Chains A and B, each alone.
Chain A
Amino acid sequence: MIKVNNLNKVFNQNTKKEFYALKNINIKIQTSSCVILKGVSGSGKSTLLSILGALSKPSSGDIIINDDSIAKLPDLHSSAFRSSNLGFIFQSYNLFNELNIEENISIPLVPLGFTQKEINKKVDVALKLANIEHKKDETVSNLSGGEKQRTAIARALVNNPDIILCDEPTANLDNENSLKFIEVMRKLKKLNKTIIIATHDPIFDKLDFVDNTINIKDGKIT
C-alpha cells in the first residue's frame, strides 16, 4: 500500500517566485493495482511521480510505502529503497547511449553486490519480459523509440521491483509502440506489480487493467 498524506511541493519557497507544484495531496494506492495520474503538462503529475519514486523530496507531508516513510530518508537509504523497490520508466528513456541494451539494463545491479553471472541471469529475465532480448547487443544510439522504451522497461524490471513508475511513457511513441507498451504493462499487472503511470495520453482511458485514475490540475487532485 502506498499512502500519501498532506503532501506539498513548493519551489522557491519564501521568495517572490514561490510556486506550489503540489498542494495538499492525499492518496492511497493499493498494492498490485494500476493507477493513472492524469493531467495536462505542468499539472504536477511528474513531480508527484518523482516524489513517489524518492527522486526528489517533498516540502512537507509524508509518503508511506509498505509502512515505511520515504519522505525524509537520507541518501543512502533512499538509494537502497529505489534500487530494491522501484522501477522507473522515463519519458525520455534516460539510457546511456554509448552502451548496448544488455549493459544499460545491468546498471541498477552494479552497486548491489551481485556476481557477473547473477547479473547476466537477471538481465536475461528482464530482456524477455520487455521483449527486447533479440537486440541485447545493439547500442542504444542505434535503436528506435519503441526499442529504447522496451530497454527502459527492462532496466526498470531488472531488480524485480514491486512498484513500477512510468512518466509519460508513450509521449515519444507511435500508436503501434504505445499499444505494445500497454501490453507489457498488462503483463506486469498480472505479475502483481503496482503500476503508477503519469500521462495525458487518452490511450490509457478505459483500459481494463487500470484500477484507478487520479486527475491532477494545478497541483491539486480534482
Chain B
Amino acid sequence: MRTSTFLNFLFLLIYKHKSKHIAISLISILIVFLISSVLFISSSIQKEVFNTLDAQSDFVVQRINSGKIVNTPNSWIDDFSDINGISNIQQRVYGQYYFESANKYFTIVGVDLFEESTNKDIKELLKILNIQEFMKKNSMIIGNGVEKILREFKYFEYYFFRLQNRDTRKVSIFKALPKETNIIANDLIIMDISLAKEILNIGEDQSTDIVLNVPNELEQSNIKIELILKHLDIRVIQKSDIKKAYENLYNYKGGIFLILFIIVMITFVLILFQRYTMISSSDKKEIGILRAVGWSIKDVIKLKISETFIIAFISFLIGVIIAYMYVFFLNAPILSNIFLGFGNLENSVSFSPNIDFSTIVTLFLFFIIPFISAVLIPTWKIAVIEPSESMK
C-alpha cells in the first residue's frame, strides 16, 4: 500500500466522518486537559517551592519548651560557631500576625538588610528596594494578598500594628511585591528585623529560630548530632527533610488526581469498547464494503488504527495546548485553589512554565494505548467476519 494514497484516503475519511468522532474527541480533550492541567500546576508549584527551598539554609534550629516551639536565644549563635564546618549562622525573625478585621493571618518576616548572609530569595525580592528610603521611616513590603486585604480596609499608605503592650505601631506600606512571587509570598510582610521583633514581641536578644549552612554535605549528619548535643531543648530541622515533606505533599495531591485519571480513563475505555462492540450497522457495513472491494483484514485494521490514532493524537494535542493556556496564561482558576488552598488569604498566583516532557510522553502512552486497544479489538472482530455478513 502506498503511504501517500493511504493517507489521502485516511484523512478524507476522518474529515467526512467528523461528526461521528466529535463526542469521543470532546471527552478525550477534557480528560487530557484535566490531567495535563494538574501535572502542569503541580510541577510548576514544585519547581517554585524547591527553588525557594534551595535558597534556604541547610539547617533550622529551634528551641522547644514543654513540647512547644519558643523563641530561640541569640546566644546559641555563639555556641554553634564553635562547631567546625558550619557557616552563615544567623537569626531569623518571623511570625504570624492576626488581622482581626478580616479574620486573617499575615506572615511577618524580619530582615537584617545589612547582614551578608540574608536569604537569597529575600535579597531577590528586595532588589526593587531603595534601602535608604526604606530604612528612613518604619516601612514594610507586602505580598499581594496582604495588599488586597489592607486596601479593603482603606489602609493604602500605612497600617497600625497592635503591640503586646496595647500600644500601636504605625508602619508605612513601602511597596507591594510583584505578582510572580505570590506562590511563596502572598501573605508576606517584610520589614526591618528590629521592627518585626517589636511587633511580634520577640526580645532583642532572641529570634524565632536560627539558621545555618553546612557546605560539606557529607558532614551534615555529623553536625546535626553535634547541634543536638549542644542543648537539651533543641530541635534541628534539616533542609532535605523539608524537601521530602513538600515532595510528599505534592505527590499526594498529584496522586489523588492520577487515581481519578485512571478511574476516568478506565470508564472512557469501557465506553469506547462498548461503542465499538455495539458497533453501529453503518460502521459494520463500512468494514464489509472495504473487504468486499478487495481490502484485506490487515488493510482494514491499519485504516482503523490510523484513524483512531489520529483522532486520539489530535485530541491529546488540543487537550495539552488548552491545559497549557489554562495554567500558564489564565493561571488555572478553580484548579489552583485545590493545590494552594485559600484557607487564609485568597491567592492569585501566576504559574511559570515548567514542563516535564517525559511526564507528557508517559501520559500520551497511557492515553493512546488503551484508546487504540479499545477500538482495535472490536474492529478486528468485525473485520474477520465474512464481508457478505457484515454488509447485511
Contact indicator A114/B5 (Cβ below 8 Å) = yes
Q: How far is the CA of A75 from the CA of B385 in the complex (A)?
A: 11
CB < 8 Å neighbour of B292 from A55, A115, A116 = A55
| Residue pair B296, A79 in contact (C-beta under 8 Å) | yes
CA distance A107 to B294 in the complex (A): 9
In this complex, what residue of A is CB-closest to B299? A111
Chain A residue with the shortest CB-CB distance to B18: A98
Shortest C-beta distance, A116 to chain B (Å), equals 6
Known contacts A76-B298, A103-B12, A115-B5, A108 near B293 by CB under 8 Å = yes
Chain A nearest Cβ from B292, distance in angstroms: 6
A80 to B294, CA, bound (A): 6
* Cβ-based interface call for B113 (8 A): no
The contact of B388 among A56, A98, A99, A108, by CB within 8 Å, is A56
Decide if A159 is an interface residue (CB 8 Å cutoff): yes
Would you call A110 and B386 a contact (CB within 8 A)?
no
Contact of A193 with B by CB under 8 A: no
Which residues of the partner chain A approach B387 to less than 8 Å between Cβ atoms?
55-56
B63 within 8 A of A: no
Q: Which of B65-73, B139-147, B261-269, B283-291 contacts A (4 or more CB under 8 A)?
A: B283-291
A119–B9 Cα gap in the complex (Å)?
Answer: 12
What 1/0 mask marks residues of chain A from 58 to 85 whose CB sits below 8 Å from any chain B CB? Answer: 0000000000000000011001101110
The answer to whether B9 touches A110 (Cβ under 8 A) is: yes
Instruction: Find the B residue at minimum CB distance from A99.
Output: B16
**A50-B388, A76-B298, A99-B12 known; A155 vs B293 contact (CB < 8 Å):** yes
Say yes or no: B292 contacts A82, CB within 8 Å.
yes
Docked-complex contact A108 and B17, CB < 8 angstroms: no
What residues of A have a CB within 8 angstroms of the CB of B2 in the complex? 113-115
Measured CB to CB, the closest approach of chain B to A143, in angstroms, equals 15
A181 interface residue (CB < 8 Å to B): no
In the complex, whether A192 has a CB less than 8 A from a CB of chain B is: no
Q: Tell which of B293, B297, B389 touches A82, judged by Cβ atoms closer than 8 Å.
A: B293
B391 within 8 A of A: yes
Q: In the assembled complex, which residues on chain B have CB atoms less than 8 Å from the CB atom of A79? A: 291, 294-297, 299
Tell me the chain A residues, 75-134 only, with Cβ under 8 Å from chain B: 75-76, 79-80, 82-84, 86, 88, 90, 94-96, 98-99, 103, 106-116, 119
Task: Tell me how many residues of A have a C-beta within 8 Å of chain B.
Answer: 36
What secondary structure prevails in chain A residues at the interface with B?
helix
Q: Does A150 contact B (CB under 8 A)?
A: no
Docked complex Cα distance between A47 and B389 (Å): 10
Q: How long is the Cα–Cα vector from A103 to B286 in the complex, in angstroms?
A: 14
A37-59 residues with Cβ-Cβ distance < 8 A to B are: 47, 50, 53, 55-57
Contact A56 B386 (CB under 8 A): yes
Closest chain B residue to A117 by CB distance? B5
Report yes or no: B299 in contact with A56, Cβ–Cβ below 8 A: no
- A50, A107, A111, A114: the one within 8 Å of B296 (CB): A111
User: Which chain B residues numbered 141 to 170 have a C-beta less than 8 Å away from chain A?
Assistant: none
**Are B294 and A82 interface neighbours, CB within 8 A?**
yes
Indicate if the CB atoms of B294 and A108 lie closer than 8 Å.
yes
Annotate A131-174 by CB proximity to B: 1 below 8 A, 0 otherwise. 00000000000000000000000010001000000000000000
Interface of chain B residues 1 through 23 with chain A (CB within 8 A): 1-2, 4-6, 8-9, 12-13, 16-17
Q: Are B1 and A110 in contact (CB under 8 A)?
A: yes
Q: List which B340-392 residues lie within 8 A (CB) of chain A.
A: 384, 386-389, 391
B286 to chain A: which residues have CB within 8 Å?
Answer: 96
In whole Å, how far is A42's beta carbon from the nearest beta carbon of chain B? 14
User: Which chain B residues lie closer than 8 Å to A47 at the CB level?
Assistant: 388
Mask for B328-339, Cβ within 8 A of A = 1, else 0? 000000000000
How far is A112 from B5 in the complex, measured between Cα atoms in Å? 10
Known contacts: A80-B296, A98-B16, A111-B1. The answer to whether A90 contacts B386 by CB under 8 A is no
Chain A minimum-CB-distance residue to B12: A103
Are B16 and A76 touching (Cβ within 8 A)? Answer: no
Asked if B296 and A94 sit within 8 Å, CB to CB, the answer is no
Nearest 4 pairs of A and B residues by beta carbon: A83-B294, A79-B296, A98-B16, A50-B388
23 residue pairs from A and B, CB less than 8 Å apart: A55-B291, A55-B292, A56-B387, A76-B296, A79-B296, A79-B297, A79-B299, A83-B293, A84-B294, A86-B294, A90-B292, A95-B289, A106-B9, A108-B294, A109-B5, A110-B9, A111-B294, A114-B2, A115-B5, A116-B4, A116-B5, A116-B8, A159-B294
